[in-house]
Structures are given as structure tokens and as C-alpha cells.
Structure 1
Amino acid sequence: MDQQRICFIGAGNMTRSIISGLIHSGYPAQLIQATNPSQGKLTALEADFGIQVSLDNLSAAQQADVIVLSVKPQIMQQVCETLRSLSLTNKLVITIAAGIHSSRYTEYFQQPINLIRAMPNTPMQLGVGMTGLFAPFCLNLQHKMVCERLFSSGGEIVWLDDEAEINQVIGLAGSAPAYFFLFMESMIAAGTDMGMDAAKARSLVQQAALGAAMMAKQNPQLSLRELRENVTSKGGTTAQAISTFEDADLRGLVKKAIENCVNRAEEMAKTL
């Protein structure tokens, strides 16, 4: 993959996260190019990572071995149609858009393509991301290896057996950082409401969240229930907090939220 030229169509937050993961893993900046209809985000990417930038999707994609489609689902068809004149036979196309079934891309490009659907999350920029991958068509091993190396540079990957699982990845990983941020926000707000300085409350909460995640990851032999019970003394302070969450049906609320996330992705697939 060291010789693969990568073009990102779209310069939003996810593009930044993936590029950051690539650069921090040692990938050559001169082999990465990003495009966008406006200059602002491109200037920032060029300054921060030393990559190539362009306002011209077609020219950038023509030079690339790997094209990463990183635009909003609502404009994906328009973007793909501007690239129809390219021969994509020897190029790998990776899309990170939610809600667009793989069969639609063949319609958009009006030619057979080597396509992989990817669903990463923003912690890729720190090397601790999670990406679900699905190859809808028969791809050669080299293309799969290229995709694996691209996304594993920013964290872990999992190959999916069924395209429908992409929507589940959105619910369980793609959107999940926002869930944890909301929970952390709520904890910090509780602390400040009780009179604690906001900076101190944030320091406590974010380190506790990091520690909990690391304990879960580094102790795969223990279930999450066991890890929780190890912190929870019967009749103690933690037990009181957990009981409050259980009484409010936290599990049911989380399940409903993730189901709604997945359902929204499925709805988008019907309209795009």
C-alpha cells in the first residue's frame, strides 16, 4: 500500500480523522490528496498534515489508485456522476457514506467498480477508531489488503458478512462516541450542579471513562458484568447509583436509542 495514491473526495471531519490516522502511522503525505468544493477545510488539512489538496474532483480522482468517497449521502449521486468519465477498472472505490446500498454506486458510476463500504468513527484520528468493512462484490485480495491497511492505521477493523450489518456498525460504533460524550456531559453537569469546578469535574470524568474502556479492552476474559460487579459493593455508593440507572430502565433506553439509529440508516437507504 506504500505506493498507493489515495484521494479523499470531501474534506469533512471523517476525512480529517482518517488522514490523521494515516499520517500518524507513517503513511507518506505526498501520496494523499483531498478535494472539496471550498478552500477553507483544504487549507487546514494541507497545513496540518502536508497533504496535496485540490478543488477538482475529477483530476484528483484520475491520479489516484484509491478513491475515498467522503461526502454527505444527499450529494453522493451528484459527486459520483462527475466521475463517470473515469475508467475505474483498476481503481479501488471506498465509500464511508451511511444509508446508500452498494448497488446504487454501480448506477451512479454506470460501470462496474471495485467497491468497499466502510463505516469508521472519529477516534481514528487518535489511532483508536473502529471501522466496519463490507465488500459487496468479488474483490481481489490486494484491494482488501489496501483497505485493511488504510483503516487499521487508525484503529481496529472488522469485516462484515452481510451488508445490513453496516447499519448495526453505525449504531454500535460509528455514532457511539456521541453517546459516550453525552453521558460524560451529563456526569460533568451533575458534578458542577453540586458545586465542583467544571475543569475538575471534566478531568475526573474523562479519566474515569478512559480507565473503564481500557479495563474492558485489556480484560477480555472478564464479562462487562463481572467488571461492573467488581466495582460495586453490596449496599455501597456504586450500588446506589447503579440501582438508580436500573430503576430508570437505562438498558431499555440504550436499546431504543441504538434501534432508532439503525432504523434511521435503513430509512435513508430507501430514499437515496
Structure 2
Amino acid sequence: MTRIAFIGGGNMARSLIGGLLKTGVPTSNLSVAEPQPQAREALGRDFRVATYTDNRLAVADADVIVLAVKPQVMPAIYNELRDTLQRNRPLLISIAAGVRLDQLERWFGVLPIVRCMPNTPALIGAGATGLCANLRVTPQQREQAQHILDAVGLTRWIADEAQMDTVTAISGSGPAYFFALVEALEDAAVAQGMPRDAARILASQTCLGAGRMLVESNESPAVLRQRVTSPNGTTQAALESFSADQLPKIVAHAVAAATRRGQELAAALDKE
């Protein structure tokens, strides 16, 4: 059985550990290094996995290491792990937003590395993750990486790493766009006189139902939108207002801004 070590025990690591246990991975095959005492104790209590304060002890016999830390933390850990990783040569999986494969190779050495971008719905098993790999990753290691991320939702391999910043902008940051839309719908309904609790539940359930229709019907968003839109009806009136306010342009600008920011964060790490 593959032994998997997590560096960082935050929310994303917790979701992956919980998902892996549900797929049948034994607790004895999982370990996690977490510097915060309360978080570390919670991991041991909730999942019965081995926990460590020392990153090197956590990864000592691991076949796969998941770097579940923020991008800015990455340079602080590579010095203590580099020698161990070069001896053992595990598969390295990074979920740090914006950190490129070449940066990971520069810090941790020549290793098989998978870069991935999960999102927060992984916390409830409904994540969407893009993955890309360097040329040293074997087919078996690709399967290992996909199995780990499949435990918390849908995965898709991205052939061109340059597109990973767009993945970050679409699915990584995307849940916040959705929450902002529901927030706006709620506020708009309240402005029309609806009680806030009713507005929130109706807006939330409407978006949930629409999302399920989109995923489960295999129809395009355009086709589903057209089916809801009766000529000269209420939906058409709203969509015409969206068009007049240039909603597609607003969304395109937002995604471009998020993509650009991801590239800027990676560029800042080049100085490390």
C-alpha cells in the first residue's frame, strides 16, 4: 500500500485525509506534519493518523508527499526536506496555488512532481481539481496522484502547465464568485421586499439545483439557459439586463485578473 505524508494539516489536508480513509486507505499509511498543536491534536483525534511536528519524521518512509501549504511557506520547508527527498525520491504533489513545476524542482531537486489546484468544495467531497505533471512522473504515479485527488471530487489533467493559472482562476477561486452571485441575488430579493432568510434559501437552492442540472444532464450551459428562457418572459428580461451590463465582459475581466495575480505570485517566488 502507498504511504502518503502530508506537510501541512489545514483544511485541504483534512479533506484529502478524510476522503482517502473513505476509499479504504488504512490510517497506518497516512502521516501528517503540522506545527500548530491544536490542529495537530485534532488530526490525530479525528483521523487516528500519525502526526508530527518535524517534517522530516513525517516523510521518512513516504512514497508520496503532499505539500499542503501556502505558496509563501514553500521556501521555508525545502531546506529541511531536500536531502531526504533526494535519497528516497518519492512522488511530490503540490497543492500550493501558483507554484510552478520548475520552481518546485529548483527547491526540492529533480523528482517526479505533480502540481494540482483543488478548491474548497473538496471539504465536502465535491471538489474540482486540475493536475499537471513533469516528465519524471510515471503512469503509475499519475494514477496515484489522481487517486488521492479523486477522493475529494472531480479531477482533470492539464497538458499545458501554462493553463494552471487559468485553472486557479476558474475552479480554485471560482467558489468565491459563486458565493458573490448568491449574495447579490439575496440582496436583490431583499431590496424587492422579501425576508432575508427566505431570499437566502431560495437563492442557494436555485443555484444548487441549476448546478446539478448542468453536471447531470451533460447539456451545455447555453442549451439549458435557452430552455429556461421564454420569449418576452421574465427570464429574457433579466438576461437582457445582464447583457446590457456586459456580464460576460465582467466575468472575463475577473478571470483574467485572477490569472494574472497567480502569475505574479509565482514570479515573486522566483526571487527565493
Length-normalised TM-score, structure 1:
0.92
**Residue 98 (1) aligns with residue 106 (2):** no
State the alpha-carbon separation in 1 of the partners of residues 44 and 62 from structure 2.
Answer: 17
Higher helix share: 2
**Residue 245 (1) aligns with residue 252 (2):** no
Give deviations 1:188-232, integer Å, cap 9, x for gaps.
Answer: 222233333333222211211111111111222x32111011111
**Percent of residue pairs bearing the same amino acid type:** 37
State the alpha-carbon separation in 2 of the partners of residues 48 and 163 from structure 1.
Answer: 35
The alignment partner of 2:84 has SS state of: coil
The alignment partner of 2:82 has SS state of: coil
| The one of 108, 116, 119 aligned to 2:117 | 119
Give the alignment of 1:156-175 within 5 angstroms: 156-175=154-173
Report how many aligned residue pairs link the two structures. Answer: 268
The one-letter code matched in structure 1 to 2:96 is A
The one-letter code matched in structure 2 to 1:12 is G
Report how far residue 86 of structure 1 moved.
0.3
User: Is contact 1:9–1:70 with CA below 8 Å preserved after alignment?
Assistant: yes
State the alpha-carbon separation in 2 of the partners of residues 43 and 183 from structure 1.
Answer: 37
The one-letter code matched in structure 2 to 1:198 is R
Give the alignment of 1:24-173 within 5 angstroms: 24-88=22-86, 89-109=88-108, 111-173=109-171
* Residues 244/43 of structure 1: CA separation in 2 closer, same or farther (3 Å cut): farther
Q: Which residue of 2 aligns with 1:223?
A: 220
User: Is contact 1:5–1:64 with CA below 8 Å preserved after alignment?
Assistant: yes
- Note the residue ranges of structure 2 that are not aligned, 5 or more in a row: none
Report how far residue 76 of structure 1 moved.
0.4
State the alpha-carbon separation in 2 of the partners of residues 100 and 53 from structure 1.
Answer: 26
State the alpha-carbon separation in 1 of the partners of residues 33 and 170 from structure 2.
Answer: 29
Report how far residue 130 of structure 1 moved.
1.1
State the alpha-carbon separation in 2 of the partners of residues 43 and 182 from structure 1.
Answer: 34
Give the alignment of 1:167-186 within 5 angstroms: 167-186=165-184
The alignment partner of 2:155 has SS state of: strand
Moved more, 16-25 or 158-167: 16-25
State the alpha-carbon separation in 2 of the partners of residues 198 and 52 from structure 1.
Answer: 45
**Residue 261 (1) aligns with residue 258 (2):** yes
Alpha carbon RMSD of aligned pairs, Å?
Answer: 1.7
State the alpha-carbon separation in 2 of the partners of residues 201 and 40 from structure 1.
Answer: 37
User: Is contact 1:232–1:239 with CA below 8 Å preserved after alignment?
Assistant: yes
* Residues 87/226 of structure 1: CA separation in 2 closer, same or farther (3 Å cut): closer
**Residue 236 (1) aligns with residue 233 (2):** yes
The alignment partner of 2:35 has SS state of: coil
The alignment partner of 1:86 has SS state of: helix
The one-letter code matched in structure 2 to 1:228 is R
Length-normalised TM-score, structure 2:
0.92
The alignment partner of 1:211 has SS state of: helix
State the alpha-carbon separation in 2 of the partners of residues 47 and 115 from structure 1.
Answer: 30
Report how far residue 183 of structure 1 moved.
0.7
The one-letter code matched in structure 2 to 1:244 is S
The one-letter code matched in structure 1 to 2:252 is K
- Note the residue ranges of structure 1 that are not aligned, 5 or more in a row: none
Give deviations 1:71-129, integer Å, cap 9, x for gaps.
Answer: 111120111111122044441110111222212222212x3211111111121222221
* Residues 206/30 of structure 1: CA separation in 2 closer, same or farther (3 Å cut): farther
